[in-house]
Amino acid sequence: MTSGAYLDHAATTPMSPAALEAFVAEAQRVGNASSLHSAGRGARRAVEEARESVARSLGARPSEVVFTGGGTEADNLAIKGMFWGRRRGATHRTRVLVSAVEHHAVLDPAFWLAGHAGAEIVLLPVDAEGRLDLEALRAELAAHADEVALVSVMWANNEVGTVQPVREVVRLAHQHGVPVHTDAVQAVGQVEVDFAASGVDAMTVTGHKLGGPLGVGALLARRELELEAVLHGGGQERGVRSGTLDVPAIRAFAVALAEAVEQREVRAKHLATLRDALVAGVRSAAPDAVLRGPDPALAPEERLPGNAHFTFPDAEGDSLLYLLDSAGVQASTGSACQAGVPQPSHVLLAMGVPEAEARGALRFSLGATSTPDDVERLVAALPQVVARAQAAGLVSRTNERGRP
């Protein structure tokens, strides 16, 4: 574990002891899961047992679990694979509906399809708390149902923690025969996630967000879903995801997932208690800070229990991040960085947050190893950090105005 207060579990989590033990044990064995000899059969057995475990944890059938190299690959397989799969028939479906607050692992392949495969991307709006506008989705489906290839709406937002109305999205889309994908990377282990009960056609999960290793994840996809391969080669994983399977990572992923799901209720209560203390502490230490996303005091079920996201007026998020890091507190801005230039979060902009305010964003995310001491360390450091970041922002703005 890192030193200081680690408040960036939404970026990645430490491996749980049980997952690490499983990883190390499997890594000491040799065998390609596609080989027919005894070592290969042993590796295949480990993979299939892990597949059954993942399915149990997420309310799916084992045959619906497609192992991938992580969440980004699973999202790409879902968006591209579903788009190309839906073009097999006579109907030319080119519209891809995605919420405006999706992770770039969904947005970027969607826009890649627009540039390379004739897709038309429709960004579905959200309200001021980051919640999908269901009426906009309803209207889009009513007007263009025969042209829609798929809908993708994340289960919970990675920046502001908003839990989306996934089941209602499914109900609306399925009325028109349109399949739905959801990125559930942030949701699993924090809120109840059941693949079958949700009705979605495809769902992305990953290991390193819930105590598993980096570089492994899965796309849960219904057997009847039309899904084209993105990776080609040996034909592993139903022929839609070729590549030698990472047996140690897959086994450790299954162990971490089972552990996270089994402990979810207890852990969620713990995280919510810490989150509420963090929110109260930030508001006390920095009264001008604005909580973004649903207020947990008013609608706790609409926000991830481990997420708190603030904007700090007149301060740049990257300045806040570096100053906090120097004080032993690790967090995230949640925004993109392109060509070395920090950009305001597309999530906050979609929520209607002015660009100047969106630049002062910080995301604090809690996990299994978080403690009250982490929160106290943040709250103690925050007043000086905010004051210094605002002073630096004032100097920067003054210099900008003075330039010819």
In sequence order, the 6+-apart residues with CB closer than 8 A to the CB of 204 are 71, 74, 75, 78, 105, 181, 182, 183, 184, 185, 217, 218, 219, 220
Average pLDDT over residues 109-138: 98
pLDDT at 393: 72
Could you tell me if 65 and 217 are in contact, meaning their C-beta atoms sit under 8 angstroms apart? Answer: no
**pTM, entire model:** 0.95
Q: Which of 83, 106, 78 minimizes the C-alpha distance to 94?
A: 83
308, 254: one domain: no
> Is 70 exceeded by the pLDDT of residue 147?
yes
Give dist(CA 44, CA 34) in Å, integer.
7
Report the catalytic residues: 337
pLDDT at 339: 41
Which among 261, 276, 292 is the end of a domain? 261
DSSP reduced 3-state for 366: coil
Name residues whose C-beta falls within 8 Å of residue 49's C-beta, 6 or more positions apart in sequence: 251, 254
64 pLDDT above the threshold of 60: yes
Q: Do 205 and 272 sit in the same domain of this protein?
A: no
Q: Hey, how many other C-beta atoms are within 10 angstroms of the C-beta on 100?
A: 19
> Domain range holding 195?
17-261
What average pLDDT does range 183-208 have in this prediction? 98
277 and 237 together in one domain:
no
11 occurs within a structural domain: no
For residue 90, pLDDT over 90 is answered with no
Q: What SS3 class is residue 187?
A: coil
Strand partners, 202: 181, 221
CA distances from residue 402 to 80, 349, 356, 395 in whole angstroms, order as listed? 48, 28, 19, 11
Q: How far apart are the first and last CA of the chain?
A: 49
Could you tell me if 237 and 315 lie in one domain? no
- Let me know whether 212 and 279 are in one domain: no
Q: Are residues 254 and 295 in the same domain?
A: no
3 pLDDT more than 80: no
Would you say residue 26 has pLDDT above 90?
yes
CB hemisphere CA count around 175 (13 angstroms): 12
**Nearest Cα to Cα of residue 62 among 254, 263, 259, 216:** 254
Neighbours of 338 (CB within 10 A): 7
Which residue shows structure tokens 């230490």?
285
Instruction: Give every CB contact of residue 194 below 8 A, 6+ residues apart in sequence.
Output: 58, 59
Q: Which of 246, 261, 276 is the last residue of a domain?
A: 261
pLDDT tens for residues 330-360? Answer: 999 976 554 455 789 999 999 999 999 999 9
Assign residue 303 the CATH number of its domain: 3.90.1150.10
| Per-residue confidence (pLDDT) for residue 347, from 0 to 100 | 97
Percent of the chain with pLDDT over 90: 92
Q: Are residues 203 and 352 in the same domain?
A: no
274 with 240, same domain: the answer is no
Residue 135 has pLDDT above 60, yes or no: yes
Encode pLDDT of 231-288 as tens digits: 999 999 999 999 999 999 999 999 999 999 999 999 999 999 999 999 999 999 999 9
145 shares a domain with 22: yes
In this predicted model, what pLDDT tens digit does every residue of 354-396 receive, in sequence order? Answer: 999 999 999 999 999 999 999 999 999 999 999 999 998 765 6
Residue 256 in any domain: the answer is yes
Structure tokens at 85: 């799969």
Q: What is the pLDDT of residue 334?
A: 78
pLDDT digits (tens, 9 = 90+) for 164-193: 999 999 999 999 999 999 999 999 999 999
205, 240, 261 - which closes a domain:
261
The pLDDT of residue 404 is above 90: no
The pLDDT value given to residue 296: 94
Least confident of 70-79, 82-91, 161-170, 306-315: 82-91
- Kindly report the CATH number assigned to the domain that includes residue 111: 3.40.640.10
Count the domains in the chain: 2
Do 269 and 257 sit in the same domain of this protein?
no
CB distance 100 to 346 below 8 Å: yes
Q: Decide if 277 is inside a domain.
A: yes
